[in-house]
């Protein structure tokens, strides 16, 4: 991959708008997969076009949202109904309610007091809370997901 990146940086092309010669990775492909304008010129044009057609773009986006709103709401409702049927859901809700009444402590891992979140290693014990900053909380769930995945792979063998 390193060789490809350096080759792309070495190949130069001139922009059809500004006429400057730039590396090929400074260009975008258009809808017909042709390279014409550099990213800077394309961005400049997009900003100009969006400013000029702001009302039309807003109408189009609102219409797209209205057209898809029912579908999005149905999928969201289906997703939450599916989650509510999971056996762990009630335990998670109870654990969240217990944790929301507790006073946050510093992160167990790094000691920061900014953006501290409650982590429940075991949802059946809602009062047992481990306080982690958002970064360490994500990492803790990442580790748990890896453990589950490795257990599933172990069962397949």
- Encode pLDDT of 116-132 as tens digits: 888 888 878 877 888 89
**Separation between Cα atoms, residue 110 and residue 132, nearest integer Å:** 8
Scored b (16 or more CB within 10 A) or e, 55-88 reads: eeeeeeeeeeeeeeeeeeeeeeeeeeeeeeeeee
Q: How many CA atoms lie within 13 A of 24 on its CB side?
A: 12
State residue 1's pLDDT score. Answer: 46
Q: How are the residues of the chain apportioned to helix, strand and coil, as percentages rounded to the nearest 5? A: 60, 15, 30
Three-state secondary-structure class, residue 130: strand
pTM of the entire predicted model = 0.42
């Amino acid at each position: 991959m390193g060789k490809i990146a350096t080759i792309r940086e070495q190949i130069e092309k001139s922009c059809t708008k500004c006429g400057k010669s730039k590396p090929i990775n400074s260009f975008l492909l258009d809808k017909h997969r042709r390279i014409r304008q550099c990213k800077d010129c394309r961005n400049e044009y997009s900003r100009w076009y969006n400013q000029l057609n702001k009302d039309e773009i807003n109408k189009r986006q609102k219409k797209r949202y209205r057209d898809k709103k029912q579908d999005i709401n149905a999928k969201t409702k289906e997703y939450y109904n599916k989650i509510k049927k999971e056996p762990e859901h009630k335990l998670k809700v109870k654990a969240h309610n217990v944790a929301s009444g507790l006073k946050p402590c510093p992160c167990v891992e790094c000691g920061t007091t900014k953006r501290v979140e409650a982590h429940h290693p075991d949802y059946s014990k809602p009062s047992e809370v481990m306080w982690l900053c958002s970064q360490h909380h994500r990492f803790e769930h990442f580790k748990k997901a890896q453990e589950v995945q490795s257990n599933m792979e172990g069962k397949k063998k």
